[in-house]
Structure 1
């Protein structure tokens, strides 16, 4: 298999690339990334690997997408502009990257004869639907421009499967965390921010009362889901979307307490206003992914936090960030 990973210099993408390069059945991995939110540092260790190729380019440019799909058997499409607040501040760019960019990749795949595309979808698609746990075919209205873009990806995938015969698999990620997640910048995710705070001994700000809960998912579980989707030969698994999560709910307060425990810290957080467009609680039903893809998330939140904390500590990441 020759695989293209878009957004491969990013957090989830680079973890996936590392795993794919270690597989015997993968002969080549090309990464396409514009380095807007990804980093070459995430790819450093693969330089010189004969199976690896880096291509700097933007999925918003269709010709670039065509070139990236040349001689490729399957695509893992991770490139996107994440973050609900970013999409609220700049809806146009989120739409260009997440909608136009994804449409470019789907179309380039079709033109270049790439049959299978696994793409990053999002739990934000559940929107205002109050039901827990979240089940794939029951969604509400989107609450942010970001959520709209990720839902549009799913709609295009359905149409491209029906009209062009592509095999498309969407993975609705629930709050993925782990090594290589960027703690810098205004849109950093909550776990790297908490870890950074504890390592620097500066109190973090928790949005709201800390009772917001999420189905936090260690990155190795998300990588496993991508690999299962890329290689699945179960016809029923194709042209579906799946919740990719651990299947447990953790509040922000519990999360921070967990990190403090690992670090032996007694830091006290500061509480700030709630974020616009935020869903209060989220929890995934992962039975569909287990049944059809054979997904089996092996690493718990607690174990994932330990590995993540250790990674950041080893980076001395925060001395200069």
Structure 2
């Protein structure tokens, strides 16, 4: 299956210096005029492709947003505070970024008549009664972050119905891959960093919780498909349909890195979901999406990258004395 090309468009990627956003920019920049809006609160300017126009500023600030949105055809909205504990500790602050600013962005898209593909989240489902989770599963989020993403997800679909604004909401499950760093880093990059540093791999909770881990390259493909589909005004799960326990994940990472470190446990995170696995049949049928990277291969690739980066860093340090 070939992803339909996105070309000759003026494209904005909010959060384009971040994890998913920067990979999207890389996939788009050769055939499009690409802008990035990012305040670098978690992103890195070195992740922004040289051929993209970088605007350093917050999506919450109308002056930066107006500049970024002027004349755009297509918006990939990735900017968000994605940390569940942060939303529990600061629900009002995360609400302003994750929902209020996003609603402003939808209004700007109405003005520009621009398609919007936005990052929703599996967090909207809360603790599902049955797995795998379909898009029609009752949404009962367990954190302010999940509530914020659910509201944005529904706003996007209402904007399509009321205002004929072409929107697609992609409900990401647990995304991993290169460039996943910082305080909101996913569990895979955290475990890899711990193993690489010779530290214990630390599991929050008993390790029997399950997740559906999807590689960032597959997430980028889902976004490109959403940017060209006729099936707008819809939400789609983006995962693999497979589940892995966190304990199994820790063991896989330990094996992939060859680290002789223990696996230890601490208290679970507040608001954390126990089990999660996507049904991706709707995305497969309507978008043509098919996950291509299995978890073990993805982790081994990441472990190799971590080792290479560590060797380069050591060499630089040695040369500098």
Verify same fold: TM over 0.5.
yes
Q: Which residue of 1 aligns with 2:6?
A: none
State the Cα deviation string for residues 183-238 of structure 1 (Å, max 9, x = none): x43x4321111001111111022011111110011110100000111122x3xx21
Unmatched segments (≥5 aa) in structure 1: none
Q: Which residue of 2 aligns with 1:214?
A: 211
**Do the aligned partners of 1:125 and 1:139 also contact (CA within 8 Å) in 2?**
no
SS of equivalent to 1:172:
strand
Matched, 1:295 2:295: no
Matched, 1:311 2:308: no
- Write out aligned runs for 1:155-170 (5 A): 155-170=154-169
Unmatched segments (≥5 aa) in structure 2: 1-8, 315-321
State the Cα deviation string for residues 26-48 of structure 1 (Å, max 9, x = none): 321100111111111212xx22x
Q: Which residue of 2 aligns with 1:225?
A: 222
**Do the aligned partners of 1:200 and 1:318 also contact (CA within 8 Å) in 2?**
no
Q: Which residue of 2 aligns with 1:77?
A: 77
Q: Distance in 1 between matches of 2:180 and 2:249?
A: 16
Q: CA deviation at 1:2?
A: 1.5
Aligned residues: 306
Q: Which residue of 2 aligns with 1:104?
A: 104
TM-score (norm 1): 0.92
Q: Which residue of 2 aligns with 1:120?
A: 119
Q: CA deviation at 1:129?
A: 2.7
Q: CA deviation at 1:76?
A: 0.6
Q: Distance in 2 between matches of 1:255 and 1:98?
A: 29
Q: Distance in 1 between matches of 2:17 and 2:200?
A: 30
SS of equivalent to 1:247:
coil
**Do the aligned partners of 2:127 and 2:275 also contact (CA within 8 Å) in 1?**
no
Q: Distance in 2 between matches of 1:277 and 1:125?
A: 12
Q: Which residue of 1 aligns with 2:140?
A: 141
Q: CA deviation at 1:284?
A: 0.4
Q: Distance in 2 between matches of 1:255 and 1:17?
A: 29
Q: CA deviation at 1:69?
A: 1.2
State the Cα deviation string for residues 267-321 of structure 1 (Å, max 9, x = none): 11111111111111100000000000000111111111122222222222998xx
1:36 corresponds, among 33, 37, 41, to: 41
SS of equivalent to 1:111:
helix
Matched, 1:273 2:264: no
Q: Distance in 2 between matches of 1:180 and 1:30?
A: 19
Q: Distance in 2 between matches of 1:318 and 1:102?
A: 38
SS of equivalent to 2:146:
helix
Q: Which residue of 2 aligns with 1:130?
A: 129
Q: Distance in 2 between matches of 1:138 and 1:243?
A: 11
1:252 corresponds, among 227, 231, 246, to: 246
The Cα RMSD (Å) is: 1.6
State the Cα deviation string for residues 129-160 of structure 1 (Å, max 9, x = none): 32110000112321000000000101211221
Q: Which residue of 1 aligns with 2:180?
A: 181
Q: Distance in 2 between matches of 1:139 and 1:175?
A: 19
TM-score (norm 2): 0.92
